[in-house]
Amino acid sequence: MSKHLLSLADLTKEEFEAFFKRAVELKEKKQKGIAEPSQTGKSLGLLFDKPSTRTRVSFETAMVQLGGSPLFISSKDTQMSRDEPIKDTARVLSRYLDALAIRTFSQETIEEFAEFSTIPVINALTDAHHPCQVLSDLLTVIEYKGSVENIKIAWIGDGNNMAQSWINAAAALGFELHLACPEDYFPDAQIVANATKKPAARITLNSDPIAAVKDADVVNTDVWASMGQEAEQEARQKIFAPFQVNTALLDKAAKDAIVLHCLPAHREEEITEAVLEGPHSVVWDQSENKLHMHKAILDILIST
C-alpha cells in the first residue's frame, strides 16, 4: 500500500478492496458498540483551505473513535500564509503528527506535501480529486448492490473532481461508468486518457444524460458550481439545466437504482427534492459511510 492517498489512480484493485474490507469491519464493530482503539496516542492533522462539514467532522470523529487525537489547522493561521515554503511546513508537521489530511485547491500543493512528508498525506479534496469521498461512495454501493462488479454507474453533471475520482475508480475496479456532462465541462482529458488505457476500464463519456442513466444501477450527481466557482453559478444553471437528476430522468434507470449525492445538495438545481428525499436516495447512508471509510483509511495508512 502506498504511504499516501493522493488520488484513486494510485490504488490497485487489491488496495481498494483492503479499504472496503476494513471499513466494513470497523462499521460492524461500531454498530455493536465495540471500541477499536488501534491508533491510541496517534495524532491526525487536518490542514484545510476550504470549508467543510462532512469531511472535517468525519475525519475528526474517525480519529477519536480510533483512540487518537485530531488537530484542525486552518492554513490561513499558519506560517504558509506568510509564504513559508510548503516543503518546510511538511517537514515540520511530520515531526509532530502521525498523519495529515489536506483539503485545498491545487493537486500540486498536496503532491508537494507528500514529497517532503515522512507521514501519510491524505487528499481530503482538491480541485482535481476527491478520493476519500468516492471510496465512501463505493462502500455504499457495495452495501446496497453486493459488489461493484457487473453494475452500471451513471454520473450526471459537471466533470469535476468527483467525476474524475469516479473515472479513476472505474479504471481499477472495472465497473461500467457512464458520464454525461455538458461538452465544455468534460473531465480533464489527460485523466480520462490515462484511465481508459487500463485493461479494466469501461468508461463512456458524452453529453446525453438519458443514455447515461439508461438501466443504471447507480445514479450519481453533484453541485453544478463547486467551491471557487461561485461566480459561474448563474451561467452554469442555464447550461446544466438539462442535466438535473429528477423523477423523469430517474425513471430511465433500473427499477432498483440507488441515487448518490456527496452533499451539500442544491435542491431543484442538480437534483430535485422529490429524488433527494425519495425511496431511491441513499445519501444519508452515503454520508455516514465517510466516517467508517475515513477510519479505515487512517487505520491502514498510519499502521502501514
Shared domain check, 65 and 145: no
Task: State residue 232's pLDDT score.
Answer: 83
Task: State residue 231's pLDDT score.
Answer: 78
Contact 104, 75 (CB under 8 A): yes
| Residue 199 preceded by cis peptide, ω within 30 | no
pLDDT confidence of 171, banded at 50, 70, 90? very high
Shared domain check, 166 and 271: yes
Establish if 1 belongs to a structural domain: no
CA 50 to each of CA 106, 131, 139, 220, 251: distance values in angstroms, whole numbers, following the listed order: 11, 16, 25, 23, 36
Q: b or e along 218-251 (b: 16 or more beta carbons within 10 Å of the residue's beta carbon)?
A: bbbbbbbbbeeeeeeeeebeeebeebbbeeebbe
What average pLDDT score do residues 136-153 get? 97
Shared domain check, 137 and 281: yes
* Total number of domains in the chain: 2
Shared domain check, 192 and 124: no
Shared domain check, 153 and 46: no
Shared domain check, 152 and 276: yes
Establish if 3 belongs to a structural domain: no
What average pLDDT score do residues 225-230 get? 74
Contact 161, 226 (CB under 8 A): yes
Using the structure block, give the residue that is written with the C-alpha cell 461512495. Answer: 137
The mean-pLDDT minimum among 1-5, 70-74, 160-164 falls in: 1-5
Shared domain check, 296 and 282: no
Half-sphere exposure of 185 (CA within 13 A, CB side): 27
Shared domain check, 174 and 79: no
Which amino acid appears at position 33 of this protein? G
What average pLDDT score do residues 269-273 get? 98
Establish if 150 belongs to a structural domain: yes
Establish if 142 belongs to a structural domain: yes
Pairing between β-strand 99-103 and β-strand 121-123 as defined by DSSP bridges: parallel
Distance of CA 300 to the CA centre of its chain: 17
Shared domain check, 120 and 70: yes
d(CA 101, CA 47): 6
Asked if pLDDT for residue 227 goes beyond 70, the answer is no
Task: State residue 225's pLDDT score.
Answer: 81
Residues 78-126: pLDDT tens digits? Answer: 998 899 999 999 999 999 999 999 999 999 999 999 999 999 999 999 9
Range of the domain at 207: 132-286
pLDDT confidence of 298, banded at 50, 70, 90? very high
Shared domain check, 299 and 264: no
Shared domain check, 277 and 137: yes
The DSSP line for 169-232 is: HHHHH--EEEEE--GGGPPPHHHHHHHHTSTT-EEEEES-HHHHHTT-SEEEE--SS-TT-GGG
Establish if 2 belongs to a structural domain: no
Q: At what angle do helices 107-116 and 86-96 cross, to 10 degrees?
A: 50
Task: State residue 112's pLDDT score.
Answer: 98
Which CATH number is 71's domain given? 3.40.50.1370
Shared domain check, 195 and 94: no
Which amino acid appears at position 84 of this protein? E
